[in-house]
Structure 1
Amino acid sequence: MPVTTPLEPPPANTDAAPEANERGAALAHQGRFREAAAAFDEACDFDPENADGFSNLGVVLRRLNDLNGAIVQFEEAIRLRPEFAEAHYNLGNAYSALGESTLAAERYRAALTYRSDYAEAWNNLARLLNETGHHAEALEACTEGLRHTPDNPNLHNNTGNAYQGLGRYGEAVREYKIAVEAAPGMSEAYSNLGLALKETGHLEAAVQVHKKAMELSPTDVGTLTNYGSALQAAAETESAIAIFERALSLDPDSMAAKINLATALMDQLEVNRAIEIFEGIVDGVALGDELPEHALAHKNLGLSLLLKGEYEAGIRHYAWRWETPDFTPRETALPLRGGEDLNGEEVVVLNEQGLGDTVQFTRFAQGIVARGGRPVFEVPQSLAPLIVQADNVHRVIREGEALPETGLHIPMFDLLGIFAGHLRGNAPYIVADPDKAERWSDRIPETGRKRIGLVWAGRPTHRNDRNRSVNLEAFLPLLRLTDFDFYSLQVGDHAADIEEAGLSSDLIDLSPRLTGFSETAAALSQIDLLISVDTAAVHVAGALGRPVWALIPYAPDWRWGLEGDATAWYQSVQLWRQPEPQDWKSVIARLSDALAPPEKKKGRRKS
C-alpha cells in the first residue's frame, strides 16, 4: 500500500488572529452575524489557543440560533481557560435556551465561582430558579447579586418575581417599584408590578401600571395579555376582550391570550363562543404533547360545560385541574371509581375546594351510602362540627389529620361525576345542633315581625369577589322597610361595615357569636329568610332547608346555571340574578318590592 504523509495542522498565525477578531466584532455589531462567524472562525484557525476567539464564535452562533454549535465553542473556550467566567455564563445561556435548566444553572454558578460580582450571572441564575419554581433560592441569588450591584434593575425585578412566587406580594411590589424607578423604560418590570398589584387587590393601580407597560412594549403579546387580565379583574370586560383580540392579531397561536379571551367571554355570558375557543385549544394538541396551558384550557372548558348543566362532559374536562398550578394532586389509597359495590367500606372524600363547596358536596354522602359505603369527609376545622351532623356522614377527618391508609379515596369534586343523580329531592341534609339552636332562639326572638338575615360580602381573596360582593349601603332600600327585623350574619372584616355606615340601629350584628359554622347553622335555624350574596352562608342555609334569596352576579358560578330562579342543588334557595354586570341596584329594588308593597316602604323600621 502506498505510504501517505500525515497532514499537519497549519502553523498558528497569532499575529493575524487579533485582526480577525476585531473584524468579527465589527460585523457582529452591525448585525452581520454570518460574516462575523466566518471572521471569528478565521481567528480560531489563526490562533487555536485563543479562548476569546472561541467564545466570540459561540456568541454569534447563538445569535444565529445554532445553539449546539455555540455550546461546542464555549466548551472549547473553557477548556483553554477554565476560569473564563464569561464563557461559563454564555454556555449557561445556551443551555437555558435549549431548556436544559440544570446544566444552565451549573454554568451560571461556575461563572460566579470565578467572578462573584457578575451581576448578569446572578440575574440569569435567579431568573432560571424562578422559572423552575425555586423561589427561595432565587431570592438568595438576587440578594447576593444586589450586594455587589445594589441599583441593578434586573436583579430588583427578579427579586420581585421571587417574592411573588413565594406569595409575598407586598415585598414584590416594593422591588418592582425600585426596578422601574431605576429603569423607567423597563416594560417587563411594569408588567410584573401590575401583576403584584392585582394580587394585592389594587386593581385600578394595576390597570394603570399595565397600561404603562403596554405603551412601552405595544407589540409584546405577553404584556398585552397581562394588561387584559388586569382590565378583566377590574370588571372592564369589554376593554379586556379588545386587548386580548389585539394580542391574538399579533400572535394567533398565543395560548395565554386565547384562554384569557375565552374566560373574558364567559364573564359576558358568551358561553358558546368561549367553549369553541377552549375546544380549539384542547383538540389541537396530540396526546403526550400537552403543555400547562392545555390543562388550564381543559379545566376552564369543564367549568363552562358545568355552567351549561352538561355535567358528564364538564367533569371529564375538569379532571385536568390537577395538572394546573392551582391544584396539587395528593397521594391517596385506592381511588373510588363509578359503579362498584362498596360492601361497607369507608370512602374518604378529600377536601379540595372552598367552604361552601364542602357543604354543597356533603349531599353526596347519600349516594355513597346507597352503594353500600360509609362516607368519611375530610373538612376544614371550622366546618367539622357542622358536617359531622350531616345525614349519612359516617365520620369526619379534620384537615391536617392523618388519612386512613385503607379504604377508598375520592377528591370531593369527583363525586359529581358519579352521583349527579342525587341532586333534587334530598334537602335538607344538615341539621342545626339543638342545644345551640335553643340558645339562638333567645338571641333572635320572635317579635311578630319577619326575621331576615343579611350577608353582603364574601371572602376578599376569592377570585370573583369584586363581582359577587355588594356594598352594605346598597341594601338601604331593604333596611328602611317596616315590619322586619334585620340581623347581620356577616363575618370577617366586613362585619365592621355596619358601624362604619351608621346602621347599628337598623341591623343587629350577630358576628361576635358566630364563632363557627355550627353556630351559623343554629342562628339560621331561627331566621325566617336569609338574603345573601354567593357565599358559604347560602350553602349552609340551603342544606338546612331554610329559605334563602341568593344574589347571583351576571356571570354566575357554574353551580347556579345560566338562567332561572330555582336551583337543583337546594329546594329552599331562590336565585336573584343581575340583569347586567355590576347592577345590584335593580336586584335589590326587586327584592324590596318582593318583601313589601310600596306603602310599607315609607319611614324607617320601628323597634
Structure 2
Amino acid sequence: MLINSERSEIDWLLEEAVAADPNDSRAWVNLALLRPTDIDLARPHDAARRAVALAPHDPLALNNYAMVCKEAQDWDEAERMARAACEYAPNGASSRFNLAILRLVRGGYAEGWAGHELRWQGSRELAAGRPAFPKPQWRGEPLAGRTLLLWGEQGMGDLLQFARYVPMLAERVHREGGKLVWNSFPQMGALLSRSLGAHCDLYCAGGPVEALPPYDCEVSLLSLPFLFETRDDTIPGPAAYLAPDPARAAYWRKRLADDAGERRLKVGLAWTGSLTHQRNPFRRVGLERFAQAFAGLHADVAFYSLQPGAQADVEAARAAGFEIADYSAEWPDFDDTAAFVDGLDLVISVCTSAAHLAGALGKRTWVLLDVNPHWVWQLDRRDSPWYPNTTLYRQKQFRDWQPVLDAVSADLAGLARAHREALA
C-alpha cells in the first residue's frame, strides 16, 4: 500500500502528464482512480469524464467512470457506463463483474447473479483466483449417489450472511439421494456447527484442500444465491438462523447485569472493517466519531466494544471521556462473540462482520453505510431483506458521516429513553 506522500507524488506526476499532453487518455484514467485520502469527488470525477471524452470506446475508461459515478450516487449513469464498457469488452471479466454488482445493489438479482459468478476473475480483492480443487465444480446437476462439498469464501461477514443457504441446499442434496459435506472457517468456533451443522452429513473447519474429506464435486457458499435463483422474496430465513451457546450466553447476561447492577440500554459498537479492505477508508466511521455523537447518552446507555484488537482506539476514547467497556480479549472466536452479542439490546456497526453476526442472530442492529454500499444492502431502503431486525442509516454525501451520526444519536436517545421508562 502506498503511503500518503507516495500517493501525492503519483498524483503530481499524473497532473504533470496531463498538463504536458491533455489528450493522453490513459493518464486521465489513472488520475481518475479514487484514493483513500480523497475527501471529495471533484478530481476523480472530472478526470474520469475527461478520459471517456477522449476515449469513448475504451472499456477501462468507461469502467472507471462507472466506478466514480457510483461514489457520486449517479446510479443510472454508472450503469450506462458499465454497460458500454461490457459492449466494447464483451469478454472483460472486470467490466462484467462491475455491471453485475451495479445490478445487485439496485435490487436486480435476476440480472446480477450470473455476473457475480465472475468475481474470481473480475474482483481485485479476489485476484489470487479461485482455489484449485481436484474435483469438478457443481453447477446444479443431479446429485444421486454423490457427495457435494460446500466451502466458504471471502470474508467472515460473507460466511455469516450466506450460511443461511445450508438448510435449503441440504434439503435438495438429500432429496436427490446425495450427501453434503460442509467445510467452514475455524474462526467460527462451534457457532455454525451448532446452528446449522445438523443439516449436513459432515461438518469440518479449516485445513488445506488436500486434507478435505472425500467428495465428488464442490460448490462455494456464495454461488448458492445464483444456483437457487434468489430474489428478494425467496431469501432463506428465518430471521434468526444462528444460535449462540446457551450456557455462554447466560454467563454473559449475568456478568453484564452484575456490572454495577447495570440496567441501562446495552449497546455494542463496531466502527471499522478490515484494515486491508480496499473500501475500508470509506466505510470506516471511527470510535472517535461515535464518542462525539453519543457523549451525552451515558446516563441511559452502556457502550461495549465489538472491535477485536482495537484497544488503542478504546483507550483513546476513554481518555477523551467516553465510557466504553471492552471484553473482546475474552472472545477467542465468533462463537464467544455471538454469546456476548446475545446479551445486548442493540448493535451499532459499520459494514463489517459484526453487522452480519448480529443480523444472523436476529438482534436489533443499526448499520451505517457510505454512499457506495456493499451490494447486499441495496440502495435507498431503510430495511434489509436479508436481516429483518436491521435498520440502515445511509450517507447522503461522499465521506460525510455527520448527518448519519446525528440521526443515529437521536434514535438512540429515543430508544434509551423508552428503555428507561419501561424499567421505571
Using the size of structure 1 for normalisation, the TM-score is 0.60
Distance 1:368 1:567 in 2: 23
2:302 aligned with 1:485: yes
Contact 2:40 2:398 in 1 (8 A): no
Distance 2:165 2:415 in 1: 43
Q: 1:368 aligns with which of 162, 166, 169?
A: 169
Distance 1:539 1:598 in 2: 22
Aligned equivalent of 1:396: 204
Letter in 1 for 2:190: P
Q: 2:107 aligns with which of 309, 325, 330?
A: 309
Q: 1:406 aligns with which of 215, 220, 223?
A: 215
Distance 1:555 1:505 in 2: 30
Distance 1:599 1:350 in 2: 41
Q: Deviations over 1:115-162 (max 9, x none)?
A: xxxxxxxxxxxxxxxxxxxxxxxxxxxxxxxxxxxxxxxxxxxxxxxx
Letter in 2 for 1:276: R
Distance 2:322 2:36 in 1: 38
Q: 1:556 aligns with which of 354, 357, 373?
A: 373
2:352 aligned with 1:535: yes
- 1:100-111 maps to which residues of 2 (within 5 A)? none
Hey, which of these two has a bigger chunk of helix by percent?
1
Compute the displacement of 1:203 (Å). Answer: 4.5
Residues 479 and 268 from structure 1, CA distance in 2 versus in 1: closer, same or farther, beyond 3 angstroms?
same
- Secondary structure, counterpart of 1:555 in structure 2: coil
Letter in 2 for 1:436: R
Aligned equivalent of 2:86: 282
- Secondary structure, counterpart of 2:168 in structure 1: helix
Letter in 2 for 1:551: L
- Secondary structure, counterpart of 1:391 in structure 2: helix
Aligned equivalent of 1:512: 329
Q: Tell me the matched-pair count.
A: 393
Residues 499 and 232 from structure 1, CA distance in 2 versus in 1: closer, same or farther, beyond 3 angstroms?
closer
Aligned equivalent of 1:468: 283
Residues 399 and 573 from structure 1, CA distance in 2 versus in 1: closer, same or farther, beyond 3 angstroms?
farther
Residues 425 and 351 from structure 1, CA distance in 2 versus in 1: closer, same or farther, beyond 3 angstroms?
closer
**Percent of aligned positions that are identical:** 28
Q: Deviations over 1:415-441 (max 9, x none)?
A: 111232542542211111223223322
Distance 2:194 2:415 in 1: 42
Residues 233 and 363 from structure 1, CA distance in 2 versus in 1: closer, same or farther, beyond 3 angstroms?
farther
Q: What stretches of structure 1 move > 6 A for 4+ residues in a row?
A: none
Letter in 2 for 1:416: P
Distance 1:472 1:518 in 2: 24
Letter in 2 for 1:544: L
Instruction: Name structure 1 gaps, 5 residues minimum.
Output: 1-198, 601-607
- 1:210-221 maps to which residues of 2 (within 5 A)? 210-218=11-19, 219=21, 220-221=24-25
Letter in 1 for 2:99: L
Aligned equivalent of 2:159: 358
2:354 aligned with 1:546: no
- Secondary structure, counterpart of 2:117 in structure 1: helix
Contact 1:424 1:571 in 2 (8 A): no
Aligned equivalent of 1:429: 241
- Secondary structure, counterpart of 1:436 in structure 2: helix
- Secondary structure, counterpart of 2:153 in structure 1: coil
Distance 2:337 2:227 in 1: 30
Aligned equivalent of 2:406: 589
- 1:133-532 maps to which residues of 2 (within 5 A)? 199-200=1-2, 202-203=3-4, 205-218=6-19, 219=21, 220-231=24-35, 234-285=38-89, 290=91, 294-324=92-122, 326-332=127-133, 333-338=135-140, 340-343=141-144, 345-373=146-174, 374-391=179-196, 393-394=199-200, 395-400=203-208, 402-419=211-228, 420=230, 422-423=234-235, 425-445=237-257, 447-475=262-290, 476-481=292-297, 482-492=299-309, 494-501=310-317, 502-503=319-320, 506-532=323-349
Residues 304 and 533 from structure 1, CA distance in 2 versus in 1: closer, same or farther, beyond 3 angstroms?
same
Larger radius of gyration: 1
Which structure ranks higher in relative contact order (CA pairs < 8 Å, sequence separation ≥ 6)?
2
Distance 1:376 1:329 in 2: 19
Using the size of structure 2 for normalisation, the TM-score is 0.85
Deviating more after overlay: 543-552 vs 478-487? 478-487
Residues 204 and 370 from structure 1, CA distance in 2 versus in 1: closer, same or farther, beyond 3 angstroms?
farther
Aligned equivalent of 1:142: none
Residues 334 and 231 from structure 1, CA distance in 2 versus in 1: closer, same or farther, beyond 3 angstroms?
closer
Instruction: Name structure 2 gaps, 5 residues minimum.
Output: 418-424
Residues 457 and 584 from structure 1, CA distance in 2 versus in 1: closer, same or farther, beyond 3 angstroms?
same
Q: Deviations over 1:34-60 (max 9, x none)?
A: xxxxxxxxxxxxxxxxxxxxxxxxxxx
Residues 561 and 599 from structure 1, CA distance in 2 versus in 1: closer, same or farther, beyond 3 angstroms?
closer
- Secondary structure, counterpart of 2:118 in structure 1: helix
Aligned equivalent of 1:89: none
Residues 399 and 245 from structure 1, CA distance in 2 versus in 1: closer, same or farther, beyond 3 angstroms?
farther
Letter in 2 for 1:550: V
Deviating more after overlay: 257-266 vs 474-483? 474-483
Aligned equivalent of 1:194: none
